[in-house]
Amino acid sequence: MIKIITDSTSDIDLEYAKQLNIDIIPLKVIINGKEYRDRIDLQPDQFYDLLVNSDTLPTTSQPSPQDFLNFYEKAKEQQDSVIVITLSSIISGTYQSANIAKDLAEYDDIYIIDSLGTTQMQRLIVLKAVALRKEQKSAKDIYTILEEYKHRVRLYAFVDTLEYLYKGGRLSRTAATAGTLLKFKPIIGFQEGKLEVFAKARGTQKATNKIIELIQQDGEVDLQEPICIGYNGSTDGLDKFENTLKDALHFDNALHGVIGPVIGTHAGPGARLITYVRKKEV
C-alpha cells in the first residue's frame, strides 16, 4: 500500500484529506503566546479574526522530525511505501524534518518531495500523487513523475500588502517596499521554490490583468490538469477575479481553496491566487 503524507500548508482540510485517503502533518501558529495546530485547533475563518485583532504578528513553526517519524514507523511496520510532499524547503525547514525522520526510521521505502511551493500549488502536487496511486503506479514511479511535474506547477497571487511577508522574514525590505505605495497590489509567486515579487499593479482589476499577462508569457496552461483559485479573508470580488481568468485562459472548471493560518500569517488578509500546471514542452 502507498501512504501519501503532506503538511497542513497544502491547505487541504481534514475532511477533504479523508476523502483523498492522505495524512496531514500540521505546522503550528503561535498567536499572543498561545500555540495552535494549523487546521486542527484553528480554522481559517477564526484565524483571520485573530490576525486582524492581534497586537503582534503571529509566528509559525515547522513539524519536528518526530511528527514525521510517528507516521514512518507505522508504515515500516506495515511495509507500506510512503510519499511525502512538503512545502518549499527555501521557506521552511519542514522538508528537512521529513528527511531527518527518514534517516531515523532506517526505512528506504520513503520518497520525499520538495513541492517548491505551498498552499494550492502544493495541493495540486498532492492531487497528482493521489491520481497516480489510483492508476496503481509504484511509489518510485510516482516520485519520478512528481519530480518532473512540480517544475510545471505555477502560482500567481496578489496581496494587499507585503508587510506580513517582510515581518515574517519571507521577503527582504527591498522587495517589500514594492507594496507600500498607495493602492498598489504586489503580484507574487514562486520561482524554483523561492518567493518572488513579479510585478505590481494599481487596484484589483489591473492586478488580475497583470497575472493573466504573466501566465501568457510563461507558456500554455495545461487544461487537462486541475486549476485552483485560492483566497483568504473575505470572498468579496472573488467571482470577478475567477471569471476574468476563465475568459482569458479558456478554462471552465476550477477548484477553490482558502489559504490557511500558517500561510495566512505571512500573506496577511486579502490575497487572491491562481494555481495551474504549465503544458509540457514537446
Query: Mind listing the pLDDT tens digit for each residue in 62-79?
Result: 999 999 999 999 999 999
- Architecture of domain 2-151 in this structure: 3-Layer(aba) Sandwich (3.40)
CB of 42 within 8 A of CB of 22?
no
At 282 the pLDDT is: 74
- pLDDT computed for residue 49 by the predictor: 86
pLDDT in tens, 260-269: 999 888 887 7
pLDDT at res. 30:
93
Would you kindly state where each structural domain of the chain is located, as residue ranges? Answer: 2-151, 152-277
pLDDT of 181 reads: 52
228 DSSP β-pair partners: 255, 275
Residues of the chain with pLDDT under 70: 162-183
Start-end of H helices in 79-232: 94-105, 119-134, 139-149, 163-167, 173-176, 204-218
Predicted confidence at residue 270, as pLDDT, reads: 83
pLDDT digits (tens, 9 = 90+) for 234-260: 788 899 999 999 999 999 999 999 999
Instruction: Give the containing element (helix H, strand E) for 114.
Output: strand 110-114
Domain 152-277 CATH class label: alpha beta
